[in-house]
Amino acid sequence: MNNTKRSTKQGRRTNAPTQSSSRPHGAADLERAIFVTGDICDEMVTALTPKIISLTQNSGSPITVYIDSYGGDVQAAIFLLGLLRSPDKTGQRCKLRTVATGRACSAAADLLSQGDYIEAYPHAILHFHGTRFLKKEDVTAEYARDLEKDLHSEDKSRSVRLAASVLPRQLHNYKRLKDEMRNAREKSPKTFTSYEALAPNSGLDVPAFVYALSDKLSRRYGRMVWDCLDQTESRAAIINAYRSVKVPIEHLPPPIHAALKQYKIPSDAAESIAWDILLLNSVFANRIKTDPKWSPSSEEFDLLQLELEELQAVAGKIFQTETLDQLLLCEEQFMSVSDRQFCAQYGESTDAKLRKKADEIIDRAYTKIEPLWAFTVKLCGELNKGENRLSPEDAWWLGLIDEVIGTPTTRRELPDKVRASLLKQMPLAEAEKYV
């Protein structure tokens, strides 16, 4: 979609997964930095391309991207990120440190979120919203329908990319809030009775995590995470029903069975169709459970398609494949050391038995992390709807950044002397919340 733009400027209609890493040692060398300021556009890409290629091809040291932009052309931002992530001739890629120095809005926020280590100055503003369209021609009904599908597709892709970036930071927040989570369970047990599908029987206690997380956020985003939890619970019930079936083809209606047989659909394709239909039926069953008067004729099918796509992002195998390396690096709460070593050695083995065992280990690990992944996908989907202007503090707790510069709000270990120095330089009212 060449006309897609994303911007938050008043009056204008304009329009990737990593894991958190340690911050590069010392102050960033400005010779290995680029500045994304103003409108992100083709002219900016043209101007920055020679510098980026020189940085990525001549050294493996980290690159710092300073951002102060209202946003701009999505495709131009994708080009910039592609250049920054290009490996050199040896296959090595430079780590990216992205820094919001002022505004990181729209496409600029997307660019910021794809850093390996993400920072923001305390005065910075982060702004996420849905993809927008810059109208350059008359719009027919047919074109409007196609455009809506393209916009929804772009929003979904961006949300999943953002969720893959956010998830490791949410795991960090989860560990940080364990005491608050335990206290919440003890003091308010009734709060969690309506979240049976997300019960912490085998993995992470997402309801207690959201309870503790909401206390750290401003009122608006505190409400948002609770709304996302409610929807994650509803979808967990759908996925649980979906997975209770072992052979999906046996549950297809006779007319679909006949069509698959008549047109000689290959077995792999037929099974994929069966799983999609089974997921749709699980959604319908949940609709009836929620509202006995519901009927398919009352359904908004565009919204249904979006829900199915978000469910597939959680229930499907794509996420497991994309985050295999990340899961191997997680702590023992997901995999033991021996399991991680086994998967690293035999995950791609030609021996079917060894590969099957590695797959089973990965599946068990995924089951443990899936509730948090489902919540994160929903949260990032909500951030890409409407207008969401965030302070660096909210962005940190939502897992969007790693550090608020000049404060103890950071995911790296701070020496006591550094922490004390930072607190001394902060206003007393601000410093008190870190004591």
For residues 80 and 111, what is the distance between their CA atoms, to the nearest angstrom? 8
Distance of CA 210 to the CA centre of its chain: 16
For residues 268 and 147, what is the distance between their CA atoms, to the nearest angstrom? 31
For residues 281 and 306, what is the distance between their CA atoms, to the nearest angstrom? 15
| Average pLDDT value over all residues in the chain | 84
Whether the CB-CB separation of 274 and 282 falls below 8 Å is answered with: no
The answer to pTM > 0.85 is no
Which tokens go with 361? 């280990």
Helices 301-315 & 267-290 angle (0-180, nearest 10) = 120
Which tokens go with 10? 């008043």
For residues 94 and 108, what is the distance between their CA atoms, to the nearest angstrom? 20
Residue 142 one-letter amino acid:
E
Query: What domains does the chain contain, in order, with CATH numbers?
Result: 4-173+389-404 (3.90.226.10), 317-385 (no CATH)
Q: Which helix (H) or strand (E) holds 384?
A: none
Return the pLDDT at 19: 41
Q: Is 433 helix (H, G, I), strand (E, B) or coil?
A: helix
Q: Which residues in the chain show pLDDT less than 70? A: 1-29, 131-137, 143, 147-148, 150-153, 155, 200-202, 316-331, 435
Return the pLDDT at 42: 95
Among 34, 42, 50, which Cα is nearest to 72's? 42
For residues 351 and 322, what is the distance between their CA atoms, to the nearest angstrom? 22
Provide the sign of the torsion angle of the four alpha carbons 167, 169, 172, 173, taken in this order: negative
Q: In residues, how long is the chain? A: 435
Return the pLDDT at 435: 62
Return the pLDDT at 1: 40
| Backbone conformation region of residue 349, classed left if phi is above 0, alpha if psi is from -120 to 50, else beta | beta
Provide the sign of the torsion angle of the four alpha carbons 357, 362, 368, 371, taken in this order: negative
- For 320, residues 6+ apart whose C-beta sits below 8 A from its C-beta are 362, 363, 366
